[in-house]
Amino acid sequence: MEPLVIVLNPNENTPRRPNPHVPFTAQEIAADVAACVDAGAGVIHFHARAANGDPQHSARAYAEVTRAIRERCDVLLAPSLANGPGFTLERRLAPALVADAKPDFVVIDAGCAATDLYDLQEHAFRTDDRVLVNDTATVRQLLAAARRLGSPPWFASFTIGWTRTIGAHLDSEEASRGRRGPAIVQLVLGGPEFLPAHPATRAGLEAHLAFLPESASAWVVSAHRADVLAVAPEVIRRGGHVAIGVGDHPHVERGLPTNAELVAEVAGVARRLGRDLAGPAEARHILGLPTRDTAHPRLREDRSDVARH
């Protein structure tokens, strides 16, 4: 079985309550990422944030984070797009167009969903107007843009319908172009508060996997508002990859850990199950990226020692 790639979701748009370890600024994110890379992380999905935690939807803000991370360590980057309300496609893609801060992947949410959180204690929705809208035309345009930029698409799927739709997009691309490039599919499971996604249980995972397109280069599982470690052993045994981070879930039940501690926990599960961790070069190969001509010193390090410790 190929080595495990650990994906870090360090911050999303999550506040620092209850977990104070959510990084906001570029330097905070970069320092956190460096610690997580040392623990075994291979890909980072971040959101640009202001010092007070507000979302920063500019290309400049994303480029600042990207540069700060790459100054500290080598790791693959799959940041969010600039998904502000009412943003045009061009504005959403702007972070991927900065020449010296280009991400390795273009993240594409593959459908539409009402994303209001449900408060189980209050028996009520916290909001009633939050909608994620990526219609078919938008997904097609984002996929085409990813190919033009030379950055493989990183699809996110909440439901079987989205997963099936991703397969259709890849099939359509192959039919129209005569070939298709690499594409990652991230299966986003959800906790009781996050109703749009399949539950973060083995049943929720199995539902997705029954429809996972064979054309996907690799598949990753995360859990929003839930503990992905509950399904991580099954994911690891079946050849998938795991995304984790305090941006997705505060992990109160685990004592409010840091991101590096969560990455180390996933690495420990992989080690107990006899699966190695992917070093930088292996992660690039597994996820369908070309080999780099030049390398940061860390790219020449073999991360197999992380899997043994």
Cα angle for residues 11, 288, 136 (degrees, 5° grid): 70
What distance in Å separates the CA atoms of residue 161 and residue 159, rounded to the nearest whole number?
Answer: 5
186-211 per-position pLDDT tens digit: 999 999 999 999 999 999 999 999 99
Q: Kindly state the average pLDDT of the residues 28-54.
A: 98
Average pLDDT of the residues of the chain? 93
The confidence score (pLDDT) of residue 293 equals 53
Q: Exposed e or buried b for every residue in 196-222, given b needs 16+ CB within 10 A?
A: bbbbbeeebbebbbebbbebbbbbbbb
The confidence score (pLDDT) of residue 179 equals 82
The confidence score (pLDDT) of residue 85 equals 84
**At the top level of CATH, which class does the domain 6-308 belong to?**
alpha beta
Residue 133 identity (one-letter amino acid) = V
Q: Kindly state the average pLDDT of the residues 155-159.
A: 98
Neighbours of 144 (CB within 10 A): 14
Q: Could you tell me the pTM of the whole model?
A: 0.93
265-294 per-position pLDDT tens digit: 999 999 999 999 998 889 999 999 988 654
Residue 85 is classified by DSSP as T
Residue 136 identity (one-letter amino acid) = T
Find the distance separating the first CA and the last CA of the chain, reported in whole Å: 20
The confidence score (pLDDT) of residue 86 equals 87
Residue 134, pLDDT > 60, answer: yes
Contacts of 81 (CB under 8 A, 6+ apart): 92, 93, 95, 96, 106, 107, 142
For residue 154, the cross-strand partners are 107, 184
What distance in Å separates the CA atoms of residue 162 and residue 182, rounded to the nearest whole number?
Answer: 18
What distance in Å separates the CA atoms of residue 72 and residue 218, rounded to the nearest whole number?
Answer: 27
DSSP reduced 3-state for 189: strand
What is the phi/psi pair of residue 4, to 5°?
-85, 130
Please identify which residue in the block is written with the tokens 């045009």. Answer: 88
Residue 83, pLDDT > 60, answer: yes
Residue 305, pLDDT > 50, answer: no
Secondary structure of 250-307 in HEC code, one letter for each residue: CCHHHCCCCHHHHHHHHHHHHHHCCCCECCHHHHHHHCCCCCCCCCCHHHHCCCHHHH
The confidence score (pLDDT) of residue 3 equals 98
What distance in Å separates the CA atoms of residue 263 and residue 305, rounded to the nearest whole number?
Answer: 15
Contacts of 207 (CB under 8 A, 6+ apart): 160, 198
Domain boundaries, the chain: 6-308
For residue 45, the cross-strand partners are none
